[in-house]
Structure 1
């Protein structure tokens, strides 16, 4: 019995590894569930929401943040209200921290990679510009944000 459980577990882990290896290096609008990014708005109730975007349009697929997010073709955006999260079967790749806002971006890598933790403060020069954070397909991003 123990051997059968070990074999099933090994096959499952190999299947997950194959799915991970099949994911493109650059983010896009599509993903293969369960390998979709997710963003959670951890703001307290009553705090205004923030914008998430379907596609990551940074210059480098590995970039964690960019100030300018101009996509060659328009990418869907939506407001993520307090306590709300993006759907697990959809790929939302970017979180917008507008100028004048501050908060925290915490991306948890659920496949065992390194987590990313960034305090964000866009209230003062020279940082008084919009900043976009990328959420990779193997991450769940917890975001808190307040704007002045």
Structure 2
């Protein structure tokens, strides 16, 4: 991991870089936005969707370049839903995902949440292994957009 890697709260100037990271490196490439027009609605207004309602949106910067993101939003008084955890593949397996996840969990705990949950597509075995290696346990399995959806949960408080 670069010693120049930092995690900070999203700023309005990050919008284009955040969207580009998600457009380029997410599973959504398999399910284009034209088929699911509300797929990025949360990214169109990060402040309102996350920051103003008990949530958080973080960006990870390597030498000033946005290479990772992660967010959570309020599900209820006890539970935060993790979303938009992405790391540019050129920077994966360097500890950036762990730094983002750790920062999200810390901020969720500080905000008073007792647990975090996250859904992951069944096709993404590396993301599942990542979550499980960080203490997340399978809470449920379902089918979404024709693909298995695995729901994970972790107690943080």
TM-score (norm 1): 0.25
More helix as a share of residues: 2
Q: Which has the higher contact order (CA 8 A, sep 6+)?
A: 1
Which one has the largest radius of gyration? 1
TM-score (norm 2): 0.24
